Amino acid sequence: MGCKKDPPGFTIDNLNDGKIGCFGHAGMGFYSSYPVNSWPGFESCLARGADGTEMDIHMTRDSVLVITHSSDLKETTTCSGAISDLTWADITDCNLKSIFFKDAKLLSLDEFLQKLDNPKQYIFTWDIKFKEFNQTYYGVYSRAIQKVVIKNDLFGRVFIENPFGDFLHHLQMNGNGAKLFLLSDNFEEGMEEVLDRGLFGLSMHSKHISQEQVKKAHSQGIRITIYGVLTEKENYAAIEKCPDYIQTDNINYLVKVFGKFNRNNGFVHSITK
């Protein structure tokens, strides 16, 4: 490839009609000046031409889904405490720790979706995180997810990632309209569970999956998401494997490669109501 705006010099063979979905990792990525899992980061990512974005989800004590990577608020916000021990009212005024975006607030998933003019034009990957492992808790979490999907009419527009097959099976039985991906760092073990449970796809770090393994998954009807890519070289290496979706910490590069970059709307305040 001659320059970073050129298209890939090979045919993409995958289960997504020969296209690779371009998703930002927690918005603009963990190495951006934008705070991760923040409205400014998500807005900028989507406005630049991304097909969607990945985001990390935790659930409060009163079953509100909150967008944040860490279970302990003190790691990324001005507040403290475990999200699962607090209600949404307890944390609604928490600001994210950020040098450049001091007014960025902790977001509930519903707040984020309400900020978008048309959420249905994107695909959202929700990386579901939790600490409890029992069917009762799975049921509460599943109903909270279903409530958000129904309210925002996002059937088929949500990918859910989680490393625990039992939880994904619970979501599957609940029928909430999301497409389910098993998070795994072992291809063979991950594929076995995905096939046994009839899940939609497998999400893996780029360093743990090869082009041949992606092809093997496709031969069995399993979609592949690759994450863990930052540099142009890492992004291009991920593209060469022909996955169906890539979550990148360098969304600018990825959308330029595929001619999706929106030159006029690559900054904040471009897709809000």
pLDDT at residue 16 in the model: 95
Give tens-digit pLDDT for 144-163: 999 999 999 999 999 999 99
Token digits of residue 40: 């400014």
Distances (CA, A) of 35 to 43, 114, 135, 248: 12, 20, 34, 15
CA–CA distance from 64 to each of 3, 39, 159 (Å)? 44, 17, 19
pLDDT score for 10: 67
Q: Quick one: pLDDT at residue 61?
A: 96
- Only one residue has tokens 């998500």, namely 42
pLDDT at 177: 84
pTM above 0.85, yes or no: yes
- Mean pLDDT (10-residue bins), the chain, 273 residues: 47 94 97 95 96 98 97 95 96 94 95 95 96 91 94 95 95 88 98 97 98 98 98 95 98 92 51 34
Dist CA 60 CA 22 (whole Å) = 30
Say how far apart CA 21 and CA 254 lie, in whole Å.
Answer: 10
Catalogue all structural domains in the chain, each as residue range(s) with its CATH number: 21-257 (3.20.20.190)
Question: Which amino acid belongs to residue 46?
Answer: L
User: What pLDDT is recorded for position 263?
Assistant: 53
> What token pair was written down for 25?
């990792």
